[in-house]
Chain A
Amino acid sequence: MAKTVTARATLDRGGLTDEQLVAMLWNMLLQRQLDNRGFQLNRQGKIPFALGSEGHEALQAGAAMAFVRGSDILVPYYRDLGLVLGVGITPLDLLTNMFAREADLSGGRQFPNHYTARDRGVLSISSIIAAHCTHAAGVAYALTYHGGTGRAVLCSTGEGATSEGEWHEAVNFSAIHKLPIVFLVENNGWAISTPQSAQMAIVDVADKAAGYGIPGLICDGTDPIATYRAMKVALERARSGGGPTLVEAKCYRFLAHSTDDDDRTYRNREELAQQRTDDPVPKYEHALLEAGIIDDDGLTAMKADVLKQTNDATDAAENLPYPSVDDMTTHVYSGAAYEPWLE
C-alpha cells in the first residue's frame, strides 16, 4: 500500500503487525473466492462435487496465523479451506484437487477438500467424522516421544464431530498424557441438517473441556483477531508442555453442507439473512479500513488479485490431465504388488 491511509478507529490488533493483519484479510478473500469457484464449477458441470467453508473464513485465517509453519502439524477436517491455505497449500493445489487431476496431492484419489501434504505439515484425512482426531493425538504423542520439541498439533472439527466417540477418546487420551495439541471446534451450528441443539444439550462446546480436565476457550469465530488470540494462547500452551486446549470458535455456515445438499429443506431464509448481517469478510474489511490499515483502492486491488489467482489456478488445473488408470494400483502397499494372491 503505497498511499497514506488514515485511521478512523483503533483496532485491538492482538499483537499482529499490519502485514499479518492484511495477510489474514488476503486469506479470507481468497477463501471466499475459491469457495465460490468450487460451487460455480459444480453448477457448470465441470466438477462433480464441492464443499464450502463460507462463514468460517475469519476463524481459519486467525487460527492459521497462530500456526508455525515447518514445525506445527495440522490435522484438519474437510471444511478447512482457509486453514490449509494459511499453512501453505496453494490455490492451484486446491483447484487441482477439485478437478481431480493427476497432479493433485492425492493423485486425483481424494474427494475435494480432503488434503494431504506431509511437506507442509498437513496430515492425510478421510471423510469419517472425528476419525482424524485420534490420529492427531497419536501425532502429538509422537512429537514428544523423544522429549519436548516446542511443536504442536492443531486438530479441527465442526461441532457435530464432538458427538463422536472418537472425538471424546482423542481429547481424553491427549489430556491424560498432557499432549501438545489444540482441538479447534468450528461451531457453525449445523451438521448438514442437524442443528447443534440436536447434537448436545449444552450451548457452549467449550464446556466439554471440563470433563477432561483441560481448559476450554470460546472465541468469536467471525473475528480473525479474536480467534488468533485464543489459538495463540492454546498453541503456546501446547508447545510449552502445558497440555491440550479445547477452543470453540463460534461461526455460521452460509452455504449448504455441499453442492449435493439443499439447505432450504431444513434452514429458513430469515435465519440465513440475519446471519449474513454478521458476515466475517465484509466485517473484517471494514475493520481494517476503519483502522487505516488498508484503503479502498488497496482492497479493490486485493480482490482483483484474488480473482485473478483463482482464475489462473482454475485454468491451469482444468488443463491438466486426469490420472492414468495405470496408476490405480500404486500405493496400495509399499511395493508394486497389490493383489491378495501371492504367486
Chain B
Amino acid sequence: MSETAAERAHEDREPVPGFNGTAHDSPSEPTGNSTISNVEAVRLALHDAMLADERVLILGEDVGVRGNVFLITKGFLEEFGAKRVVDMPLAEASIVGVAVGMAMQGLRPIAEIQFADFIYPAFSQIVGEAAKTRYRSNGDYSCPLVIRTPYGGGVHGALSHSISIEALFYHVPGLKIVAPSTPRDIVGLLTAAIEDPDPVLFLEHKKTYRSVKGDVPAGHFTIPIGRADVKKPGTQATVVSYGYNLHQALDAAAELETEGISVEVVDLRSIRPMDKTTILTSVRKTRKLLIIHEDNKFGGIGAEISAMVAEEALFDLDAPIRRLCGPDVPAMGYAKPLEDAFMISTERMRAAMQELVAF
C-alpha cells in the first residue's frame, strides 16, 4: 500500500469525478482477482452483493441512470432493474428512512448519501431510528442497513463536499462505522457490512477513490467489522490512522525507514466497534502513540483512542500521546492555500513521527 499513494494523489489534482460534470472513464468491469482502485472495489463489492442476494437493493440520488456521481453503479440499473437500483427523490432523510422501513420488513437496502456533507438531514433517521430499532423493540425488529457515503477533503470540495463525519456518529450505540482505505479492505468490509444484521455507516474517502490501488482476492470474502490492521510493522512508535491520511502515514513511515527510524502504522479500518487489542498490542510494543486523522481534533476519534490508551496502558508509555488532526475550524476553504492548510501534509506527519521517536 505504500506505493507513494499520497504523492500520486498530490499530483492528481483533478476535480472530483462526476462532481463538476467532468467526463471520466467508467470503472473497469470487476474481475475480482486483479489490482483495482478503491472506487472499483466499492463497485465490485456492491455488484457481488447484488448478484448474491436478491434482497439487496441500492437507493440514493443519481444511482440509477447516472450510475452514481462517481460512476460506481454504472450499468447496475440495466443489469438489476429499477426495483433494485432506485433513483431517490432529492431528500436525504427519506433515503435513509425508507431504507430503514425496507430493512425492518426483511430487505437488505444499501442507502447512498451522495456526499457525506449531505447526511445531516438523515441524522435523525440514522441516530434516532436505525441505531435504536433493535434496542427499542427488544429484538422484535432489526435494521440490517448499510449507509454508504464518500467523505473527506483534498479534492477542491470546499465547505460542503469535503467534510469528515465519523466523529458525529461514533458516539452512537447501535450503529457500526467502518472506514476502510484499501481495495481489499473495502471489498471485505463492505461485504461484511451488507451481510451484517445491524446498521453500518460505511465511509469512503473520495481522495483515495482513484489514487489508491491494490490487490483484491478473487471470490467472496469478508473482513470482520471492528478489527484494525497493522499495515506496516515497526518498533519505535505507533501511528494509528485511517482514510487518505493512512496512505500518507505509510509514505512517511517508509521514508523514515530509510533513515533507520521504525514506525508501526495501524490502519483503524473500523471506528465502531474499535479494535482495542490491536492498538494496545502495538502501543505496548512501541511505547509511543501518534494518532492522525483529517477530521478536526476536538472530540474526534483520536480523543477516544487517547482516553482508552491512557486508561489501559499509561505506564507502558514513554511519551505523551500525540494527535495530529484537522484544525478546529468549521470546514476547509475552497482556496488552495486554505485547503492545503487544513489537510495534513505527509511532511508534517513525518516530522511528528520523528519528534515522537526522539522524545
Contact = CB atoms under 8 A, between A and B. Distances in A.
Contacts of A140: 101
Contacts of B105: 73, 138-139, 142-143
What range describes how many residues of B lie at the interface?
Answer: 35 or more
Contact of B141 (A104, A118, A172): A118
Interface in A166-206: 166, 169-170, 172-173, 176
Interface string A145-181: 1000000000000000000011001101100100000
Contacts of A123: 101, 104, 141
A233 to B, nearest CB: 24
Given A135-B97, A169-B91, A173-B94, A331 B275 contact: no
A66 to B, nearest CB: 21
Contact of B135 (A109, A118, A143): A109
Contacts of A142: 101-102, 105-107
Interface string A112-147: 001011100001101010010111111111110100
B136 interface: yes
A302 to B, nearest CB: 32
B99 A334 contact: no
Nearest to A179: B98
Given A137-B94, A142-B106, A342-B227, A126 B132 contact: yes
B104 A332 contact: no
A240 interface: no
A135 B276 contact: no
A73 B102 CA distance: 13
Contacts, number: 160
A25 B100 CA distance: 36
A73 B101 CA distance: 11
A131 B134 contact: no
A116 B104 contact: no
Interface of A: 73, 75, 104-107, 109-110, 114, 116-118, 123-124, 126, 128, 131, 133-143, 145, 165-166, 169-170, 172-173, 176, 330-334, 337-343
Given A131-B97, A166-B97, A342-B276, A138 B135 contact: no
Nearest to A133: B97
A116 B106 contact: no
Given A107-B138, A332-B134, A126 B128 contact: yes
A117 B137 CA distance: 8
B97 A145 contact: no
B272 interface: yes
Contacts of A343: 276-277
21 contacts: A105-B140, A106-B136, A106-B138, A106-B140, A116-B138, A118-B141, A124-B133, A124-B136, A138-B102, A138-B103, A139-B105, A141-B102, A145-B107, A166-B97, A169-B91, A173-B88, A176-B89, A333-B197, A333-B198, A342-B226, A342-B270
B337 interface: no
A104 B83 CA distance: 37
B91 A331 contact: no
Contact of B140 (A117, A141, A166): A117
Nearest to B92: A169
B24 to A, nearest CB: 29
A138 B138 contact: no
Which 9 residue pairs across A and B have the least CB separation, nearest first? Answer: A138-B101, A134-B97, A135-B101, A169-B94, A142-B105, A107-B138, A124-B137, A116-B137, A334-B197
A287 B275 CA distance: 67
Interface string B264-282: 0000001011111100000
B139 interface: yes
B57 to A, nearest CB: 8
Contacts of B138: 104-107, 109, 116, 330-331
B274 A137 contact: no
A116 B136 CA distance: 9
A339 B133 CA distance: 17
A128 to B, nearest CB: 5
